[in-house]
Chain A
């Protein structure tokens, strides 16, 4: 039997749900606007628009540039997630073993998260700049000719590294918490069961971290797909020749540079669909399937 609460005032219940309603409106209104505009072609100054049904979408999927951007985004997202997660897992395992000055060490590892995305981009821009960057200078020393202005692969690598660097701290926090929640006696039991440190990690620790890993995988992919605009804008601006033009960057480029609002809106809607799908996967599987 569910207990029913009767409010004395008629106004109070509405007042209580008001914040939720406000949030819903604030979130849904722009989304609705995007969906609406994606069915129109609009002139650059917004004086007139014409209903074109799904033309904006069909045009996108006929555009090799857009399909290439899809591929770039996929490579970018997967690489960022893999790089950021493997580095942070390594750091978390190391930090978990530190006894002396553990808090200080951990705090330092969390710092990159406090750096604004655009700033992170600028930092990497200067480090890697072909004419004045220190890292590109070192690379030249070992025989690598670094120029991400000309080399599209190098440009992509640059934004991947920069984006991953930014995300390492966040992953680190979750992995560390996950590691600390594994009972020590379980690892001791494994040690008595003749499993060496490496085997212990892969057969006990890593499987027990699965829920954390899966959660972070989704978060990292969402981050790489949708949250890296400022970083790319500050470093490569999508170039050279669209080599680093991921989907979010393209939305901006099409809308604000190309002033094709309809197509930009259609791209937004596709991205929105992706986010919804990924969130759905996360809620459905993180809660139920990925556990032990």
Chain B
């Protein structure tokens, strides 16, 4: 159980490829941090640098106030769960869990005690003498977690631990993982490319793109006030509707390239004609014409998801794509026009060049 301080962390490979640069994260004791982003964004590299499996080329990493940049992985008092579990195939489940403890030189009685406790928590008691290949994917995953738990480390690291499992098992293990975090109260750092996993697990999310941090915040921060166009697009399904347009002279409205005008709730500073991006989440659009902002949707195709209906189409029959999410079953006809609108407070605006949030 410990806090982490990541300062100006960077990784440049020999040959000049920069995987990660200028990462600053303060992680509190007992926090559940999720690093999320598309593949190749550097999230795993950060995790591996924390673990000590990858050297740190710039910046500093502190665990519990101690600089650990140059410590061996085994000396950092961390445990890691790998995507492919990395169980030792020639050892039984019990041996797999014992391995780290034996290396630490823990007394036998204490080892047995810890394994008994962990296997009870993870419901692995019946499998202790089995080899990994005799276990199902979900069981292997639990063994991998058990191997981490018995170590009683300061920090738990997870590298996409659920991505090799099927959807149903993933949901189940997600809940178990969250419960585990609550029970252990330890610091968790979790890497995933799945935004749903990130949203449901994290206390705070670190969202990354191209080796830099786009935003750090609670799931709701990211959802309600995305700091950049990238974050807005990455968080939420279906993805946020985006329209490029020009700011009007008084800063009070935006003329979308397709010819539609959006009135803004609060005028923004900026010269007339500045290119901006307008974003509206599909679930923030509602039927009717009494809203601050009005958007006619020409229906293209309809996704029936049971609880929800997602309608995809175009803005006013133009070239801009527009999606809306209705709750319940709806059956709009292709080609028909639905009058939609949303509250001005649900409008997001981003700089077209930098992608940063405006207003």
Contacts and interface: CB of A to CB of B under 8 A. Distances in A.
A71 interface: no
B99 A190 contact: yes
Contacts of A195: 74, 99, 103
Interface stretch (A20-28, A59-67, A200-208, A251-259): A200-208
Contacts of A186: 86-88
A192 B155 CA distance: 12
B264 interface: no
Nearest to B51: A192
B74 A191 contact: yes
B49 to A, nearest CB: 13
B111 to A, nearest CB: 13
Contacts of A210: 90
Contacts of B104: 194
Nearest to A292: B90
B84 interface: yes
A19 interface: no
B89 interface: yes
A188 B90 contact: no
A208 B89 contact: yes
Contacts of B131: 292
B84 A191 contact: no
A99 to B, nearest CB: 9
Interface string A184-199: 0110111111111001
A183 interface: yes
B308 interface: no
B80 interface: yes
Interface residues of A, number: 19
Nearest to B81: A189
Contact of A185 (B82, B90, B133): B82
Contacts of A292: 89-90, 131, 133
B277 interface: no
B317 interface: no
B90 A192 contact: no
Interface string B126-168: 0000010100000000000001000100000000000000000
Contacts of A199: 103
B72 interface: yes
Contact of A194 (B51, B82, B84, B103): B103
A196 B104 CA distance: 11
Contacts of B151: 193
Contact of A183 (B73, B74, B86, B90): B86
B73 A188 contact: yes
B86 A188 contact: yes
Interface string B73-110: 11100111011101111100000000110011000000
Contacts of A203: 99
B99 A192 contact: no
Contact of A191 (B73, B87, B88): B73
A8 B358 CA distance: 79
A208 B74 contact: no
Contacts of B82: 185, 188-189
B73 A208 contact: no
B2 to A, nearest CB: 16
B80 A208 contact: no
B272 interface: no
Q: Of B75, B78, B103, B131, which is in contact with the most chain A CB atoms at under 10 Å from its CB?
A: B103
B71 to A, nearest CB: 12
B53 interface: yes
16 contacts: A185-B82, A185-B83, A186-B86, A186-B87, A189-B82, A189-B88, A192-B53, A192-B74, A192-B80, A193-B100, A194-B75, A195-B74, A203-B99, A208-B90, A210-B90, A292-B90
Given A191-B53, A193-B74, 12 more contacts: A183-B86, A185-B84, A189-B87, A191-B72, A192-B51, A192-B73, A192-B100, A193-B151, A194-B75, A194-B103, A207-B90, A292-B90
Interface of A: 183, 185-186, 188-196, 199, 203-204, 207-208, 210, 292
